[in-house]
Amino acid sequence: MPAREQDDESLNKSLAWGLERMAQVGCPIKSPVAIKIDPSLRIMGYAKHQGDQHVIIVASWALDSEMLGGLTLHELAHIYHTERNSPSHKSDLIQEVISGMADREGLSATEIEVLTDAFNNLQNILVDDIVFAAMQSDREIKMIQRFFVDWVSDRPTGDNRQDAALVARNAFAIASLKRRGLYEPVEHTMSAKNQQFITLYNKEAARVFESIENFLEESPTNLSEEDFRAALQNYLEQILTLMRQGRKSWEDLR
């Protein structure tokens, strides 16, 4: 069988498996879904709405990853929330919150990018409730734990904006496992890496980390649009404050 046909077969099997798992956990997908390869894609993959169907785009290098099934489930969970019109997947609402902060605070393009990434962390932790429910074998759980251990950074860069993003990323990784009761087996490694990062960064980072880690761990999936908007704004404002206080801290050390 030619390589391209093998790749297509592998993708279609992954999609069929993901759709079956989604239905098994009570989250069936109603719309048609296709899955395609993008050889130039640098991230593992993403989902988009195209015509009358949803399309999952996968990087060619991701076909050999043990996380291909998890990626497929993750993108299907995004599609599920999009179909349900969840506040976390209402693009107009998200754009309104981030654009409003950008206008009020005079945010740079880099600061907007950091806040957008932080929003993605929140959106992902909500959709991953479905993914974790669908991946329950010992092998799958250990694979997920390894994945999030690798996400935690242990050393700041010296760039206040990038370091604030890394605080949010560390919080997301740890909260993802705590939220599902999977943190204890990897707590020593993840906590040590994060604590080293916080110690080398600044004291304010510890407070913000704890606050947003708790928020991500406990954030409900059934908030009203109004409550989600308020929660999102408060969450992003904490990260923005850290970006700007972090800048002052590094400038004071020069």
pLDDT in tens, 190-229: 999 999 999 999 888 999 999 999 999 999 999 999 999 9
pLDDT at 252 over 70: no
Q: Which residue has the higher pLDDT, 2 or 80?
A: 80
Q: What is the mean pLDDT of residues 48-61?
A: 93
H runs (alpha helix) in the chain: 3-24, 68-83, 91-105, 109-134, 138-149, 160-178, 187-200, 203-218, 225-252
CA angle 159, 117, 236 (to 5 degrees): 85
pLDDT at 77 over 80: yes
- Its pTM stands at 0.91
pLDDT at 4: 59
CA–CA dist 146, 167 (Å, integer): 19
Question: Pairing between strand 33-38 and 53-59?
Answer: parallel
pLDDT at 41 over 70: yes
Q: What is the mean pLDDT of residues 67-84?
A: 95
- pLDDT level of residue 248 (50, 70, 90 thresholds): very low
CA–CA dist 156, 201 (Å, integer): 6
The domain segmentation of the chain, as residue ranges, is 3-83, 87-252
pLDDT at 250: 42
121-140 b/e (C-beta count within 10 Å ≥ 16 → b): bbbbbbbbbbbbbbbeeeeb
CA–CA dist 14, 87 (Å, integer): 28
pLDDT at 6: 64
Query: Which of 243, 235, 167, 240 is CA-nearest to residue 199?
Result: 167
What's the burial of 66, exposed, middle or buried (CB within 10 Å: 0-12/13-18/19+)?
exposed
In three-state form (DSSP H/G/I as H, E/B as E, the rest C), the secondary structure along 92-141 is HHHHHHHHHHHHHHCCCHHHHHHHHHHHHHHHHHHHHHHHHHHCCCHHHH
**Are 172 and 121 spatial neighbours (Cβ–Cβ below 8 Å)?**
yes
pLDDT at 244: 87
For 3-83, give the CATH class: alpha beta
What's the burial of 143, exposed, middle or buried (CB within 10 Å: 0-12/13-18/19+)?
middle
**Are 219 and 231 spatial neighbours (Cβ–Cβ below 8 Å)?**
yes
Give every CB contact of residue 206 below 8 A, 6+ residues apart in sequence: 198
Quick count: other Cβ atoms within 10 Å of Cβ 11? 20
What is the token pair recorded at 135?
């991946």
- The dihedral over CA atoms of 169, 171, 172, 177, expressed in degrees to the nearest 10, equals 140
